[in-house]
Amino acid sequence: MRVVYRAWILMAALMVLVLGGCGGFEKPEEGPTSATGQGKGVPAKKPERIYSMQIGHSQPVDNPRHQSFLLFKKLLEEKTDGGIQVDIYPAGQLGSEASMLEQVCDGTIQGFRGGQLEIVPKMLVFSLPFLCEDRTQAERLVNSEFAREISMDSLKSGATILGIGDAGGFRQFSNSVRMIRGPEDLRGLKMRSNGMDTINKTLEALGAEVMTVPYNDLYMALKAGTIDGQENPWVNSSGMRFYEVQKYFTEVNYQFHPEPFYVNTRWYESLPPEYQEILAECTEEMMKENNRLIDENEVQAMENIRANAEIYTLSREERQAFVEATQVVYEEYMDNGLLTMDDLARMKRIIRGEEK
């Protein structure tokens, strides 16, 4: 009887070991939660391939351009579960804007945002003087079907435009010689341009001597007196501390600059279709954030400048004198074929909200 009892105990122990080995009483471990917000217990999806995205731009790190790029990086890396890794190089670390655009076209870097429009010359028509009067009008224009049609020209140079934003808000004049209240006050002033044709032609129409200076060299050129003045949005002028080397600022709101986000086409087309869709979504969110930050920072930027220099705001009649003095720029663009009467009429319909 004692032998039978011992045999039964041994068999029971063996059964416990067998069942335990099968894991029947083990609680399964929870897998990690993915960056796209999958629930508990669902393992994070590991991308089969990691794509590197190096992006350059010319603005300092406290500028809306860089701040909105930080949002872009966060969203893109989260939504691709790390499948695209973004490195941002601000403040001209990778060279001038012209150089960075060239680097995108040849594939040295994958992305660039800025006011360089050389590979889409038709887009210059968006920066014609006094074309738009406020942000709503400008946003209608750069988000229109007309803008998408024009953007296709960049493909010839090896770059794809994912979206168009605001390069910093409407542009103003400043100088260290005299206050600018009328077109005649610009005559003879050595005014800096970034080389954009519409800036050059507008300043020339107003009688200024145009000098091209890279953005990141502009502060020292103003300080040294190599040039008398410059034109930039309030946010840029404040962020670059131009008020330290400029005495007179005029609120003229003469020009809006479209800011395309260029990516290398070969790189973009190598991405899985779902990554291309995510890029488009993140670009849209980035541009909204950029424009929001510009509006938010513009008042403070003006106050920073006002505390260190004089600001003059044109009356409606004074501004109209500038409008009339720069109509020659429209005529020149029609003469060179970049603008037609139909284009101008279409843009005005878009600006008024009568066409998408």
330-341: per-residue pLDDT in tens?
A: 999 999 999 999
* Of 16 and 217, the one with more pLDDT: 217
Section 86-108 average pLDDT: 96
Per-residue pLDDT band at 23 (split at 50, 70, 90): very low
Contact 258, 167 (CB under 8 A): yes
What does the pLDDT read at residue 298? 94
Report the range of poorest mean pLDDT among 27-41, 146-160, 214-228, 300-314: 27-41
The rounded mean pLDDT for the chain is 89
Span 262-287, pLDDT tens digits: 999 999 999 999 999 999 999 999 99
Q: Give the span between the Cα atoms of 159 and 180, in whole angstroms.
A: 39
What does the pLDDT read at residue 44? 54
Per-residue pLDDT band at 343 (split at 50, 70, 90): very high
Q: Give the span between the Cα atoms of 182 and 50, in whole angstroms.
A: 56
Section 192-207 average pLDDT: 96
What does the pLDDT read at residue 47? 87
- What's the burial of 190, exposed, middle or buried (CB within 10 Å: 0-12/13-18/19+)? middle
Residue 193 has pLDDT above 90, yes or no: yes
To the nearest 10 degrees (0 to 180), the angle between helices 327-335 and 316-325 is 30
Partner residues linked to 32 by β-bridges: none
Q: Is the dihedral of CA 117, 122, 128, 132 positive or negative?
A: negative
Strands 171-175, 248-251: pairing kind? antiparallel
Per-residue pLDDT band at 46 (split at 50, 70, 90): confident
Residue 328 has pLDDT above 70, yes or no: yes
Q: Residue 247, SS3?
A: coil
Half-sphere exposure of residue 223, counting CA atoms within 13 Å on the CB side?
Answer: 9
Residue 230 has pLDDT above 50, yes or no: yes
Partner residues linked to 85 by β-bridges: 52
Residue 27 host element (H or E): none
The radius of gyration of the chain from alpha carbons, rounded to an integer in Å, stands at 29
Residue 342 has pLDDT above 60, yes or no: yes
Question: How many other C-beta atoms can be found within 10 angstroms of the C-beta atom of residue 195?
Answer: 17
Give percent of the chain above pLDDT 70.
87
What does the pLDDT read at residue 4? 37
Section 103-110 average pLDDT: 98
Section 9-25 average pLDDT: 37
Per-residue pLDDT band at 42 (split at 50, 70, 90): very low
DSSP 333-351: HHHTTS--HHHHHHHHHHH
What does the pLDDT read at residue 216? 86
Span 63-81, pLDDT tens digits: 999 999 999 999 999 999 9
What does the pLDDT read at residue 33? 33
Per-residue pLDDT band at 31 (split at 50, 70, 90): very low
